[in-house]
Structure 1
Amino acid sequence: MPSDARLLLLDKNQVEALLQPADVLDAVREAFVLHSQGEGRVFPLVREPLATGGVFGIKSGDVQSQGLLGFKAAGFWPANRALGGEPHQATILLIDPATGRPQCVIDGNAVTTMRTGAAGGLGLQLLARQDSRRLCLFGTGVQARIQLTFALALLPSLKHVRYVTVTDQPDAGFERAFGERCDISHATDRNAAVAASDVVITATPGGGALFDLQAVQAGTHLNCVGADTRGKRELPDGLLARTRLFVDDRDQARQIGETQWAPDTPCTEIGDLLSGKAQVDRHASDITVFDMTGLALQDLTVARLLHQRAAAAQAGTSVHWPW
Structure 2
Amino acid sequence: MPIDAHLLLLDKDQVERLMQPADVMEAVREAFVLHSDREGRVFPVVREALATGGIFGIKSGDVPSQGLLGFKAAGFWPDNRKRGGEPHQATVMLMDPATGRPLCVIDGNAITTLRTGAAGAWGLKTLARADSASVCVFGAGVQAAIQLRFALDHLPALEKVRYVTYDGQPNPQFESAFSACCDMSLAMDKNDAVATSDIVITATPGAGALFDAQALQAGTHLNCVGADTQGKRELPDGVLARVTLVVDDREQAKRIGETQWAPSTPSVELGDLLTGKETFHRQPTDITLFDMTGLALQDLTVARMLYQRALAGRMGSSIPWPW
Q: Specify the alignment match of 1:159 in structure 2.
A: 159
1:132 and 2:105 correspond: no
Amino acid at match of 2:320: H
Q: Specify the alignment match of 2:185 in structure 1.
A: 185
Q: CA deviation at 1:34?
A: 0.2
Amino acid at match of 2:116: T
Percent identical residues: 72
Amino acid at match of 1:225: V
Q: CA deviation at 1:156?
A: 1.0
Q: Specify the alignment match of 1:322 in structure 2.
A: 322
Cα deviation code 1:83-117 (max 9, x no counterpart): 00011100000000011100000000000000000
Ranges in structure 2 where 5+ consecutive residues have no aligned partner:
none
Amino acid at match of 1:27: A
Match of 1:71, SS? strand
Query: Stretches of 4+ moved more than 2 A in 1?
Result: none
Match of 2:283, SS? coil
TM value normalised by structure 1: 0.99
Q: Specify the alignment match of 1:3 in structure 2.
A: 3
Q: Specify the alignment match of 1:121 in structure 2.
A: 121
Match of 2:104, SS? strand
Q: Distance in 1 between matches of 2:65 and 2:50?
A: 36
Q: Distance in 2 between matches of 1:272 and 1:166?
A: 35
Q: CA deviation at 1:280?
A: 1.4
Q: CA deviation at 1:167?
A: 1.2
Q: Distance in 2 between matches of 1:2 and 1:301?
A: 26
Q: Specify the alignment match of 1:72 in structure 2.
A: 72
Cα deviation code 1:187-217 (max 9, x no counterpart): 0100000000000000000000000000000
Q: Distance in 1 between matches of 2:201 and 2:48?
A: 26
Q: CA deviation at 1:180?
A: 1.2
Match of 1:14, SS? helix
Q: Distance in 2 between matches of 1:174 and 1:111?
A: 21
Q: Specify the alignment match of 2:274 in structure 1.
A: 274
Cα deviation code 1:153-186 (max 9, x no counterpart): 0111101000001110111221111011111011
Match of 1:125, SS? helix
1:230 and 2:269 correspond: no
Q: CA deviation at 1:3?
A: 1.6
Ranges in structure 1 where 5+ consecutive residues have no aligned partner:
none
Q: Specify the alignment match of 1:207 in structure 2.
A: 207
Cα deviation code 1:122-181 (max 9, x no counterpart): 100000000110100001100000000000001111010000011101112211110111
Q: Distance in 2 between matches of 1:249 and 1:92?
A: 20
Q: Distance in 2 between matches of 1:61 and 1:109?
A: 18
Q: What root-mean-square deviation, in Å, do the aligned CA atoms of Structure 1 and Structure 2 show?
A: 0.7
Match of 1:75, SS? strand
Q: Distance in 1 between matches of 2:171 and 2:70?
A: 38
Q: Distance in 2 between matches of 1:169 and 1:85?
A: 22
Matched ranges for 1:1-323 at <5 A: 2-323=2-323
Q: CA deviation at 1:2?
A: 2.6
Match of 2:300, SS? helix
